[in-house]
Amino acid sequence: MGAFPNPLDLGADIMTSSTHKTFPGPQGGVIFTNREDLFKVIQRAVFPGLTSNYHHHRYAATAVTAIEMMKFGKAYAEQVVNNARTLAEELHALGFKVIAENRGFTRTHQVLVDVSNVGGGTKSAILLEEANIIVNKNALPWDKGFRDPSGLRLGVQEMTRFGMGKDEMRVIAEFMARVLIRREDPGNVRKEVIEFRREFTQVKYGLTPKDVGIDVGINMLM
């Protein structure tokens, strides 16, 4: 999609990824290589050594998502990165310790926040979940363990695909500040989060029924 360098173009032999995060398809994983010899080795190792079936029901959904990304992927990826940076900047302005301030906070879909001064990653994630804001507790480089890490990892790609932009990222940052910094009751914030989310229920950067010819099929049946 062009928003981040392709590791294979930079000299990597193998790249692994999921099919359900920044690439918004059905849940699964993928292994990439541009070397024929490695492809054959990986293919023999993966099946039947590590997996026992192909999950054929995923193929159509994965193919449709690939077509969508070919058509809308560049705009989608650019908006994801812009949203992530805006969220990071707004969190920082509201008093959070956002990682990598000196490097512009983020160049991807992710934002890392050090919440050790407001209760730590586990407690912060639970409080935000009570407010209907789902985040991931995450160990930071200086943590000695992962059970109660210092950080939170935030990803904006899903909400971007539901049509949220920079303004909405600022609203989300404000919700987070109210829960974690100002210590408002998460239950009260939850009600506002639910109302806020109601405005974003349609998937964007995707094919419509008209794009895939469903209207034509209906007309033919009539």
Mean pLDDT by 10 residues, the chain (222 residues): 86 92 90 93 84 80 92 95 98 97 94 96 97 96 88 97 97 98 97 97 87 52 42
76 and 16 in a single domain? The answer is: no
What's the CATH code of the domain at 87? Answer: 3.90.1150.10
Is residue 33 in some structural domain?
Answer: yes
Same domain, 38 and 20: yes
Residue at 74 is within a domain: yes
Residues 140 and 185 occupy one common structural domain:
yes
Residues 16 and 80 in one domain: no
Count structural domains, the chain: 2
Residues 111, 193, single domain; the answer is yes
Query: Got the DSSP string for the chain?
Result: --SS--GGGGT-S-EEEEEESSSEEEEEEEEE-S-HHHHHHHHHHHTTTT-----GGGHHHHHHHHHHHHHHHHHHHHHHHHHHHHHHHHHHHTT-EETTGGGTS-SSSEEEEE-GGGTHHHHHHHHHHHTT---EEE--TT-S-SSS-SEEEEE-HHHHHTT--HHHHHHHHHHHHHHHTS---HHHHHHHHHHHHTT--S--SS--TTTTTHHHHHHHH-
pLDDT confidence of residue 16: 92
Whole-number pLDDT of residue 213: 63
pLDDT at 220: 43
Q: Which domain holds residue 32?
A: 7-64
150 within some domain = yes
Instruction: Show the 3-state SS of 167-180.
Output: HHHHHHHHHHHHHH
**Residues 50 and 144 occupy one common structural domain:** no
User: What is residue 160's predicted lDDT score, i.e. its pLDDT?
Assistant: 97
Q: Are residues 136 and 175 in the same domain?
A: yes
81 shares a domain with 151: yes
Q: What is the pLDDT of residue 57?
A: 82
CB-side neighbour CA atoms (13 Å) of 139: 8
14 and 59 co-located in one domain: yes
Residue 212 lies in a domain: no
Residue 41 within any structural domain of the chain:
yes
Query: Is there a single domain that holds both residue 48 and residue 77?
Result: no
Domain for residue 31, yes or no? yes
